[in-house]
Amino acid sequence: MNSASRPSHHTENGFENRYPLPESKKSFFTFLRLRLLGRESWPKAKKQIGKTPVVAPNLDAIHTPDPNVAQVTWIGHSTVLLQYQGINILTDPVFSDRASPFAHIGPKRYSPPGLAINQLPKINIILLSHNHYDHCDIESLRQIGKEPTYIVPLKNASLLKEAGIDSCIEMDWDQFAEVNGVKIVHTPSYHWSSRKISDRKEMLWGGYALTFPNGFKFYFVGDSGWNEQLFAEMGEKYGPFDLGLIPIGAYDPRDFMKAAHVNPEEAVLIKQTMGIKQAIAIHWGTFVLTAEPVDEPPKRLRIALEQAGLNPDHFLALPVGGMHHHMPTPSQD
């Protein structure tokens, strides 16, 4: 593909965000030094145990769901089980103790997964947003196995092969696919990818917008910083949505994280801009990735919703293992 015909987010070395914003002047290695070498104000994983509410999962409901109700179970971080119309969808499966390439170094899980892999129902579709270790865990994918249909961004198929998964559907931004009657479009997010120092942005990243046969619409943001132009364009093109997963955590220090992760106030802007009727908070309460207190994101989220004049019940921060049932509107019956 020559430069004149390729999409604007395709570059000679990989991919670039749509509508780029100014990036932090500090290097990512400065952030890593703060994160790995520590500082007094940085949360410590062993001190965060108990700060994230955890409940026992409703296994009866998980294994015998009502097909007429959209059922969401938050397993932790960005791992969510969506069950609707007899279809089981899993987002960014991470069940390991660390979000890291190393066994004993890197962000450690301080709240257990809400479900174990052997407690999952038969999974039909897996949505993988990008290759960061807190979203793409090779061992978890290996244990889940080949049976689901994997949907991944461009250039991510090689990661699945590491897990022994030979086939998947690779998608570019704004590209459509159909699986089990569900129409899936890969949506851009404002983020980046890497598994090592030398592969930044070589693999694509993003989210997914799903439309079920009855018109029910579901949106998984993936990881993203706030970009007003990007979300306004997507909201007009793909919204509104009945149900959505929006990240709310891993946002401080703000100069580093602004272009990668939204804070709770910006998460509310995504809900409004994308027209998401019922949102579920993800990307918090599982790994100590950044400097904000572990239990701060849902508190700030509630305040932001109240300040925006929105019903806090329409953007829920569930406990780990918690479940939400969303009734479809009459037009979707």
- Answer whether residue 1 is part of any domain: no
Which has the closest alpha carbon to 145: 170, 172, 117, 169?
A: 117
pLDDT tens across 165-215, in order? 999 999 999 999 999 999 999 999 999 999 988 899 999 999 999 999 999
Stretch 255-278: mean pLDDT, rounded? Answer: 95
Q: What is the pLDDT of residue 34?
A: 59
Query: What are the b/e assignments for 112-150, b being 16+ CB within 10 Å?
Result: bbbbebeebeebbbbbbbbbbbbbbbbebbebbeeebbb
Q: Is residue 66 part of a domain?
A: yes
Decide if 281 is inside a domain: yes
Q: φ, ψ for residue 236 (rounded to 5)?
A: -70, -35
Pairing of β 125-127 and β 87-91 = parallel
For 204, residues 6+ apart whose C-beta sits below 8 A from its C-beta are 15, 130, 153, 154, 155, 156, 172, 173, 193
Does the predicted model carry a pTM greater than 0.85? yes
- Banded pLDDT at 3 (limits 50, 70, 90): low
pLDDT (tens digit per residue) in 98-129 = 988 887 787 889 899 999 999 999 999 999 99
Domain count, the chain: 1
Higher pLDDT, 104 or 297: 297
Would you call 140 helix, strand, or coil by DSSP?
Answer: helix
Domain annotation covers residue 40: yes
Which phi and psi angles does 56 have, rounded to 5°?
Answer: -70, 135
Query: What CATH number is associated with residue 192?
Result: 3.60.15.10
The parent domain of residue 193 ranges over 27-326
Handedness of CA 211, 67, 112, 262 (dihedral sign): positive
